[in-house]
Amino acid sequence: MLEHWRNPEEREHRRFFFCQLEAMETLIWLAEAPAAEKVGIEIPSDGGLFQCLCAKMATGSGKTVVMSQLIAWQILNKVTYPQDTRFSRYIFIVAPGLTVKSRLSVLVPGPGSYYEEFNIVPAGLLEKLRRGKVLIRNWHVLNWETEEKLAKKRSVDKRGAKSDEAYVREVLGEMAKGRKIVVINDEAHHAWRIPAESKVKGVKKEEIEEAAKWIGGLDRIHRARGILSCYDFSATPFAPSGKKSAPEALFAWIVSDFGLNDAIESGLVKTPRVVIRDDAVPDAKTYKSKLYHIYQWVKDDITGKAESHEPLPDLVINGYYLLGKDWLETKGQDTQQDRTKREFLDEWVKAVNNHGGFGAWKWVVSKNPGDVSGILASV
């Protein structure tokens, strides 16, 4: 695989970034290198019972491509050497949201996948690759409830918490029979273990619950089926440390580090700029938009006499445009962003209703607070 990825004849028009190859080579070496070569190398655990390795990759450096390389390496080795316990043909990918989940569909072997688009796998091995199983789920699918939480519910449904076996069958679906699963966490900074015997401060309750459900769900899968390895990918792999001196800390299990500074220096990512909403040159002293105190910039152009055909200063026209745009959005003009939000909202509600464990859900978009009571009455 490494020879194929570095072959200049195969890469005539599209070569991999060096950071992608470096990350992948590191993960391969940690799995395949002889034990004698790894003496003294101890990768800290995240506190769980299965191995975690993290690749820190800046946004824009192509971590989805590295994921496809990782999947191909795992599946092709397992299919070729079925007895080799270092590999698996079962790949479970957890996404932090529906938008990311949709973007990751290119990791499922088939037409339009990255394996063909980026020539990840030689054409002669594509059939072998399809013998593996790649499942992509949104983290919400990992949701689970304890006996204590179920007991507090006021419901006629008095069933207890699901067993690990029932939970795994529901979450993994057609992959539920697989064992020794490889897990890939995308945007893994959402998935971290709450520090033992410490209070996490400065973190929203929703973020703590998300992390607990995400990691707790993987723990249940490990107990029932076994997780061979968990690969975390993130541009910002930080987690609350539970310490006052350093409230946030990098994942201790980072094995490949290509951060934002590296990406900028390498020319893979543009230098971040402070966003200025109008098109005018900002004040050289304060760097604030000239719309903050527009009069001082246009008073000479608007205080004198002018003919009816003379246009207003560009800064004033720009200000009117932005004000009108805000007004239209406030008044409820339907934008592409609004339509996209409704599509994902509809998908989310359908998923909840298909689950069947949270009652019947409906959704309605209201842009007038006065309509809410009528909408609730009709539902």
Positive or negative: CA dihedral 221, 224, 230, 236: positive
* Beta sheet of 90-95, edge-to-edge order: 133-138, 90-95, 181-186, 227-234, 52-57, 254-258
For 68-97, how does the pLDDT look when each residue is reduced to its tens digit (9 = 90+)? 999 999 999 999 999 999 999 999 999 998
pLDDT band, very low/low/confident/very high, at 173 (cuts 50, 70, 90): very high
pLDDT at 367 over 90: no
For residue 358, pLDDT over 80 is answered with no
Least confident residue range of 220-224, 282-286, 339-343: 282-286
What six digits make up the tokens of 188?
């893994």
Give the per-residue pLDDT at 211: 85
pLDDT per residue as tens digits for the range 229-249: 999 999 999 887 655 545 568
pLDDT > 60? residue 206: yes
Question: Taking the model in full, what pTM does it have?
Answer: 0.69
pLDDT of residue 12: 77
Q: Distance between CA 63 and CA 69 in Å, rounded?
A: 10
Here the tokens at position 193 are 């273990």
- The predicted model gives 321-325 an average pLDDT of 74
Compute CA distances 137 → 170, 284, 355, whole Å: 12, 48, 14
Q: Beta strand pairing status for 254-258 and 52-57?
A: parallel
Q: Tokens for 15?
A: 């070569």
d(CA 344, CA 146): 28
The predicted model gives 292-317 an average pLDDT of: 76
pLDDT of residue 154: 53
Identify the structural domains of the chain with CATH numbers, from first to last: 2-266 (3.40.50.300), 336-378 (no CATH)
Angle CA(138)–CA(139)–CA(144) in degrees, nearest 5? 130
Strand partners, 238: 250
Q: Which helix (H) or strand (E) holds 136?
A: strand 133-138
- Judged by phi (left if over 0) then psi (alpha if -120 to 50, else beta), residue 333 lies in beta
Per-residue pLDDT at 268? 87
Quick one: pLDDT at residue 168? Answer: 93
Strand-pair partners of 250? 238
Tens digit of each residue's pLDDT (9 = 90 or more) over 106-156: 999 999 999 999 999 998 999 999 999 999 999 999 987 655 555 555 555
| Cβ pair 98, 348 in contact under 8 A | yes
Mean pLDDT for the chain?
83
